[in-house]
Structure 1
Amino acid sequence: MEFLWGKSAAAPTRRTVAVVMTAVVTVIALVAGLTNASRVGAFEGDYPTGPDVASWQHVGGAAIDWSQVKYAGNNFAFVKATEGLGYVNPYFIADSKQAAANGLIVGSYHYARPSQSATLQAKEYAAALVAQPQPSLPPVLDLEVDEGLSPSQLTAWTQEFLTELQTLTGRKPIVYTYRYFWQHNMANTTSFTNYPLWLAAYQETVPTDIPGGWNYMTFWQQSDKAKIPGIVGVADFNYFNGSPSQLDDFVAGLDLPLGTLIEGTISPDRVIGTAMELKAFGENNRELVGAILAVAAGVIGIGALVTFARSQGLDLGPANAIADLVQSLLASGNLPIGDLQTMAAEGDFTIGDLMILLQNAQKLATEVERAKAALD
């Protein structure tokens, strides 16, 4: 998915300062001890898989070769349809039709902008779905930003959108989110457990800490850095929590009791280039967050942050990516200090959660700059 949001800065607490200082000591101790991220595969078993794509997967206008995507063993594909008010993905119709023509079950998603009308967004999304090939997966609300709404306001906005969309399409929508956002921006509300959950959790092992009162995920987005034949660059990689026949039943509108969680062991033979840092991404992020806060406080430099990220099991590429994000966000004044302090204080989130948070903040900063440029 596309991540566009981060929180504003807040004054550091005593606990945060302690975490920062602990991280500084750990950084110094581990400067010379670098480790490589474990290399992982996909889960054994007959779980259907598939990418989700947007305009970002059309690098330089390149087309997606959906026959290769299907031949690589995938069963479904989600294609971004709309965002907020007034935006329709220019590749939505072509990608949807070509994916379906090559035997993939097609889904779609709407990227929520809660500062705008929920009802009008649901109507625009439903209108776009008229061109979607059938049969298809249920429509999806991609909820990742609050745009200034409180948890209670955002909960009401979400219910309004889902109710309107179900009325217009006759189908129960899927809710896409990630754990940190749901627990904090939605106050971990349990109001939506009657909707299927699509959870983003970038890690090697199946996430067991499901937010919002859901007992299980219907879809799991395991990576946003998958290399999939037929797609230029990288794409998000997902599992359906059931069998192929259950996926067909789900498409047909049956309310499936899928059980608890995807089960299985790691097997390298089904991987389609899933990011090699997944094992490290599933580790606790508290010390790495502390190191980032230390950079923000001017206690350590960016180079030490890279070294520390490597010591946490990240390959050089992901470690540099984190450092680049932090450096860019500091320069623009958009590093989400408040969220980082919360992560450090609570200490139960993953490096994958951290990456999503930083990507959110960077996307927001980019959107703000584009808006300013348009006004000049």
Structure 2
Amino acid sequence: MVWHMRSLPWRRHARNTAPARLTATVLFGSAATVAALVATDVLPVPSWALDGIDIASHQHPSGSAIDWQSVADSGQSFAFIKATEGTGYTNPYFSSDSAKAAAAGITPGSYHYAKPALDARAQARFYAATLATGVSPSLPPTLDLEETGGLSTTQLQDWVRDWIDEIKTLTGRDPIIYTYYAFWIGSMGNTTEFSEYPLWLAYYNSSLPDEIPGGWDEPTFWQYTGTGSVDGIITDVDLNTYYGSDAELQALAGSAGSGTAVGNAADALEPIRDAAVAEAGVTNTVEHGASTLGLSVIDIPLTTDLLVNLLGLVAGEVGPEVVLGSAYSAGFDTQTSEAITSAGTEARDADVTLPQSEINDLVSSVLGNGDGTVTLQGVLQILNAFGAQDYLTQLITTGAKWAPTGEVATLPSEDAATTTSEVVPAQ
């Protein structure tokens, strides 16, 4: 169903991707919430502000694809993609969606859904591990803060401070803080301590309030609905505005700092990231073509995801379960997927260090013609160089199979890790 909203004069792009009709019942659920969120006076949005979306695995129902070319054609300039939640959930579509967005000319970003009942620094490290294997440049790491985890206001402020301190240490970047209007005022005590960081404010109205919470003069990003419609995405989607120009958006995007844990890992993975974006461009063309014909398209995973996650496992940045999932997604059968994961774990435990130049040479040989195609033989040769035993001979002997065009295994569910509140305005 396509929803329509009255024309807003400050929207930069005329588009047919209008947000859902903004009603108190749909957006807020109760008169009390409306009173907490809606102010009487509003601030205008500049005419040059940019449009963008944020997504999670929810935008891939039953494994369906996002037509990123159509998303770009609809005028979306940026896309925040959920990366992690707590310390146990990684969005299985994060890596490929980031690469596909970048290949379509959309500036990618990421966010971590905070679970304050769990340790702040451990969550920052978990998120950083995923960022180390992600697309670069990208928008700054983002803390999605919309639940208290039972913490008091002071405890929650301490939690946010610890998370920010850890993510800055690991990435060398100042993070973005995502929150919604009533939450910051009520649960965070409207503290102004964090106003030096960019604000991404969820405020579901046709205009912003006249007074921004937390000591911010204005938000850097504004999420104004969670039930928008955008070409290329078959579900409702969050719609956002960026308070800046195209040039400023590109300046905000960047890479992890040199010498940081994430920066060092990202430097080593640069050849793979380049190949992933190249492969994503080809995949976008296929998925867009099928979508144009009105066909139902299952998301096509990138084979480079497996290589990125494997080297992340070897470096101790990602867990074996992530590699196993990406091996299934790449089309390997159960036996082969388990063998690849075992080899990666063994290589990690062998603690073999190779010069970056040698790693680059190994990766280049695996990628071959640079179109993103990764071979089983090449993957296992890399792991062998890092100290794993010769799994290739073992797999050939036992008749391992790889069927990239076959059925993709069921991906882990976001809800299996944690469930988020239905009454807050973001995922």
TM-score by length of 1: 0.57
AA aligned opposite 1:243? S
| Alignment of structure 1 residues 222-371 onto 2, 5 Å | 222-252=224-254, 359-360=423-424
1:40·1:204 contact (CA, 8 Å) conserved in 2? no
1:43 aligned partner, one-letter code: R
Correspondence 1:39 to 2:6: yes
The residue number in structure 2 matching 1:90 is 92
Give the match for residue 139 of structure 2.
137
Q: Distance in 1 between matches of 2:82 and 2:104?
A: 18
Q: Cα offset for 1:63?
A: 0.8
Deviation at 1:358, TM superposition (A): 6.1
The aligned counterpart of 1:160 is 162
Asked if 1:115 is matched to 2:113, the reply is: no
Deviation at 1:141, TM superposition (A): 0.1
CA distance in structure 1 between the partners assigned to 2:191 and 2:198 by the alignment = 15
C-alpha deviations, 1:118-144, integer Å up to 9, x for none? 010000100001121111000100000
3-state SS of the aligned residue for 1:75?
strand
Partners of 1:38 and 1:166 lie apart in 2 by 40
Q: Is the 8 A contact 1:123 1:165 kept in 2?
A: yes
Which amino acid in structure 1 is aligned with residue 174 of structure 2?
K
Structure 2 partner of 1:260: none
The residue type equivalent to 2:423 in the other structure is Q
CA distance in 2, matches of 1:46, 1:175: 23
Q: Which has the larger radius of gyration?
A: 2
What are the superposed Cα offsets for residues 326-353 of structure 1, whole Å, 9 maximum, x if unpaired? xxxxxxxxxxxxxxxxxxxxxxxxxxxx
By relative contact order (CA 8 Å, sep 6+), the higher-ranking structure is: 1
State the secondary structure of the residue aligned to 2:129.
helix
Q: Equivalents in 2 of 1:357, 1:122: separation in Å?
A: 21
Q: Tell me the secondary structure at the aligned position of residue 43 of structure 1.
A: coil
Structure-2 change in CA distance of 1:59 and 1:214 (3 Å): same
1:83, 1:111 within 8 Å by CA — same for their partners in 2?
yes
Q: Does the residue aligned with 2:201 lie in a helix, a strand or coil?
A: strand
Q: Which segments of 5 or more consecutive residues in structure 1 lack a partner in the other structure?
A: 1-36, 254-355, 364-376
Q: 1:27 is matched with which residue? A: none
The residue that corresponds to 1:295 in the other structure is: none
- 1:203 matched to 2:186? The reply is no
3-state SS of paired residue (1:359): coil
Of residues 178, 185, 188 in structure 1, which corresponds to 2:187?
Answer: 185
Report the CA distance between 1:246 and its aligned residue. 1.3
The Cα of 1:238 is off from its aligned counterpart by: 0.7
Secondary structure at 1:162 match in 2: helix
Q: Give the aligned partner of residue 343 of structure 2.
A: none
The CA distance in 2 between the partners of 1:170 and 1:110, in whole Å, is 17
Aligned pair partner of 2:55 in 45, 53, 56: 53
Letter in 1 for 2:11: F
2:143 matched to 1:79? no
> CA, structure 1 residues 190+224, in 2 after alignment: closer, same or farther (shift >3 Å)?
same
Q: Deviations over 1:256-302 (max 9, x none)?
A: xxxxxxxxxxxxxxxxxxxxxxxxxxxxxxxxxxxxxxxxxxxxxxx
Structure 2 distance, partners of 1:238, 1:209, is 19
Could you tell me whether the CA contact under 8 Å between 1:79 and 1:95 is conserved in 2? yes
Give the letter for the 1:72 counterpart. S
What's the counterpart of residue 319 of structure 1? none
1:207 shift after superposition: 2.9
Cα separation, 2, equivalents of 1:212 and 1:191:
8
Q: Deviations over 1:142-173 (max 9, x none)?
A: 00000110000000000000110011011100
Structure 2 CA distance, aligned partners of 1:108 and 1:232?
Answer: 21
SS in 2 for 1:131: coil
Distance in 2 of aligned mates of 1:234 and 1:100:
21
Tell me which stretches of 4 or more aligned residues in structure 1 moved more than 4 Å. none
Distance verdict in 2 for CA 1:38–1:73, change over 3 Å: closer
Match of 2:294 in 1: none
Unaligned runs of 5+ in 2: 13-46, 256-419
Distance change (3 Å), C-alpha of 1:240 and 1:38: closer
SS at match of 1:212: helix
* Alignment-derived partner of residue 67 in structure 2: 65
Following superposition, the deviation at residue 46 of structure 1 comes to 2.4
The CA distance in 1 between the partners of 2:105 and 2:225, in whole Å, is: 23
Tell me the TM-score normalized by structure 2.
0.50
Alpha-carbon offset, residue 237 of structure 1: 0.6
Alignment length (residue pairs):
224
Letter paired with 1:359: V
